[in-house]
Amino acid sequence: FSAEQVALMLVSRKDVKPESRFFRARFLPHLDSCLRQLNGTNAVLAAAEHQRISQFRKEDEPLLQQLWSLLVDTPLPARQTEEWKRLGFQGVDPVSDLRGNGMLGLHNLIYVARTHNQVCRGVVAEADSPAGLPL
């Protein structure tokens, strides 16, 4: 859709003359700008939703390694290991905890671990209980 089409639809319901100088000089450019921003927001939301429903694939395994290396100094012993519980995962396979958030959840965990690394490492260091401490 174009801004002009939307503008004409809006002004047909209001008392604005589309041939007026105000409409062409002020209203239409501002409406166009707003619609472009809304389209951009919709695109970001669609991309986030795609990530949320995306399932973990074998080629995504380096992302798990990246999360591990951001939070733990020792090498990851195996992809499926009890050690994931140290980071707050429920079981030996962190992928099973991502089922509700898909890849969006994993990307968010990596972002938080990278952006707030010292805080996250502190949480992991404090997680001494057998059940672990959710990150």
Average pLDDT over residues 74-103: 88
User: 89-102 burial by CB neighbour count: b if 16+ within 10 A, else e?
Assistant: beeeebbebbeebb
Q: What is the pTM of this model?
A: 0.64
Taking only the tens place, the pLDDT of each residue in 26-73 is 888 888 888 889 888 988 888 888 877 777 788 989 999 999 999 999
Q: What residue ranges in 1-135 does DSSP mark as E strands? A: none
